[in-house]
Structure 1
Amino acid sequence: MRNPKILLLGPPGAGKGTQSSNLVSEFGIEHVTTGDALRSNKGMDISDLGLEYDTPGEYMDRGELVPDEVVTAIVEEALTSADGFVLDGYPRNLEQAEELETMTDLDVIASLSVGEEELVDRLTGRRVCSDCGENYHVEFDQPDADGVCDECGGELIQREDDQEEAVRNRLDVFAENTEPVIEYYSDREAFVEIDGEQSLDAVWADLKDAVEDELQS
C-alpha cells in the first residue's frame, strides 16, 4: 500500500490536529501545516519573488503576514520532499487551491463537518496552561484539579482568541474564505465528508476507512 497524500479540511475546532496525528501514526506519513512549514523554512531564499524581504523569517520576526506566494512556495517544498502527507491549514482560499493542483495529486480530500454552535462550545471551552502550553477543555478534557495544569502545576487560562467574539469572528473568516474551497473539491472523486460531531474514535474510524478504501481502489 502506497503512502497516501491526504488533504484535511474543516473549520477551527473541527479536530483536524487530532485526526492528523492519527493519520501520521497509522500511515507513516508527514503532517504538513503552514505554521510548521514556515517555522522550518524561516531562512528560505525568496529573493527571486521580488518581495519586500528575502526570507520568510524577516516577515515573521516583524510580526507581519507572510505573503501568499511565500506560503505557497514553502508548502510546495514541504510536499515535494514528503513521502506521503496529511496537509492541514492549506489551501485557505480558492487561489491557493488552484496552486495546490499544480503541486501534487491528492488521494483523499477529507472534510470534517461540524455545526457552528458545536464549534463555539469547543473553542470557548478550551483552557491552556500559561506555563507549558498544555491544552484542556472545561467539558471534554478537564484537569485533575480545577484551573491547574496536570503536567506542571501552572495556571490554566482562556486565550483571547478563544473568547466567544473572537471565535465567531474566526468562524466568519473561515466561512468567507475557506468554505468555497470545500465546495471547489466537493465533486471530486477523492472527496469525502465526515461527520465531525461524532466521538473522536468514530471520526477516526470513518477517516481511516475513507483513506484505506481510496488506496485499495
Structure 2
Amino acid sequence: MSQPNILLLGPPGAGKGTQSGNIAEEYGVDHVTTGDALRGNKGMDISDLDVAYDTPGEFMDAGELVPDAVVNEIVKTALNEADGYVLDGYPRNLDQAQYLGDITDLDVVALLEVPREELVERLTGRRVCDDCGTNYHVEFDQPDEAGVCDECGGELVQREDDTEETVRDRLSVFDENTQPVIDHYDEQGELVRIDGEGTPDEVWSALGAAIEATL
C-alpha cells in the first residue's frame, strides 16, 4: 500500500506531538497539524469562502478565531499535498470530522487516553524556553541547570495557558467539543484506544503495534 493516512486523537498533554513525530519518522509520512498548516498558508486566497477576510493570516493578525470553513480548506490542501500523513489537532468537532470523511480515507484512527489528573500534572509542570521554545518539565524532563535552557541558555517560563485553572478549562473544552468526534469514530468501529499513561517509549510501543495490526 502507499504511505498510510493516520489520525491521532487525544486531549492536551496526551503526547500527540511526540507520538506523531514517531509515526512520521517510522512511516515516512507528513506530520500535519492545524497550527503549522495555518502558519504555512497565511496568505492563501480564501475570498471564495464568503468569510470576513480574504486570507487566513488576517484572522490570525486580528486575534480572531479562524472559522471552520477556512481551517477545513487549509487541512484539505495540506492533506492533498502529502504522500501519507499523521494528522494531529484536527478534527476538533463533529462537523470537521464529517468534512474529513468527505475529503480523505483514513487507515488508522488512534486515541491516546490519559487520566485527567495526569494530564493536569503534565501540563502545569511544563516549562518553555523564552528564547528558543524548547520544552522541559519540572519532574519528567529537567534541564541541566534549573530554570535555564540546555539548548541556548534562555530563561525557562511557564506559559499562561499552562496554569492549573487554564489547563482544566482547556481539558473541559476538549471534552465538550471533541468527545463527539471520539464517539463518531468509535461508533464506526474505527477507533483504536491506546493507554497513554506510560513513558513515551512505552506508549510508542503500544501505538506502533496497534498501527501495524490495523494496516
- 1:67 counterpart = 2:71: no
Name the structure 1 match of 2:134.
Answer: 134
**Distance in 2 between the 1:24 and 1:43 partners?**
26
Q: Is the 8 A contact 2:93 2:177 kept in 1?
A: yes
Following superposition of structure 1 onto structure 2, how do residues 62-101 of structure 1 map, counting pairs within 5 Å? 62-101=62-101
Q: 2:173 corresponds to which letter in structure 1?
A: V
Over residues 74-128 of structure 1, what are the superposed CA-to-partner deviations in whole Å (9 max), with x where a residue is unaligned?
1011111111000001100011111111011100000000011000000000011
Q: 1:93 corresponds to which letter in structure 2?
A: N
Q: Is the 8 A contact 1:92 1:177 kept in 2?
A: yes
Over residues 26-72 of structure 1, what are the superposed CA-to-partner deviations in whole Å (9 max), with x where a residue is unaligned?
00000111011111111111111111111111111121111110000
TM-score (norm: length of structure 2): 0.97
Q: Is the 8 A contact 1:106 1:190 kept in 2?
A: no
- Paired-residue identity, %: 69
Name the structure 2 match of 1:178.
Answer: 178
Q: Please state how far the C-alpha of 1:214 moved relative to its aligned partner.
A: 1.8
Name the structure 1 match of 2:163.
Answer: 163
Over residues 134-154 of structure 1, what are the superposed CA-to-partner deviations in whole Å (9 max), with x where a residue is unaligned?
110000000011111111111
**Distance in 2 between the 1:199 and 1:177 partners?**
27
**Distance in 2 between the 1:163 and 1:134 partners?**
18
Name the structure 1 match of 2:193.
Answer: 193
**Distance in 2 between the 1:192 and 1:158 partners?**
33
TM-score (norm: length of structure 1): 0.96
Name the structure 2 match of 1:209.
Answer: 209
Name the structure 2 match of 1:116.
Answer: 116
Over residues 3-34 of structure 1, what are the superposed CA-to-partner deviations in whole Å (9 max), with x where a residue is unaligned?
11000000000000000000010000001110
Structure 1 alignment gaps of length 5 or more: none
Q: Please state how far the C-alpha of 1:2 moved relative to its aligned partner.
A: 2.6
Name the structure 2 match of 1:8.
Answer: 8
- 1:41 counterpart = 2:44: no
SS of structure 2 residue aligned to 1:193: strand
Q: Is the 8 A contact 2:182 2:191 kept in 1?
A: no
Q: Please state how far the C-alpha of 1:188 moved relative to its aligned partner.
A: 3.1
SS of structure 2 residue aligned to 1:39: helix
Q: How many matched pairs?
A: 215
SS of structure 2 residue aligned to 1:178: helix
Structure 2 alignment gaps of length 5 or more: none
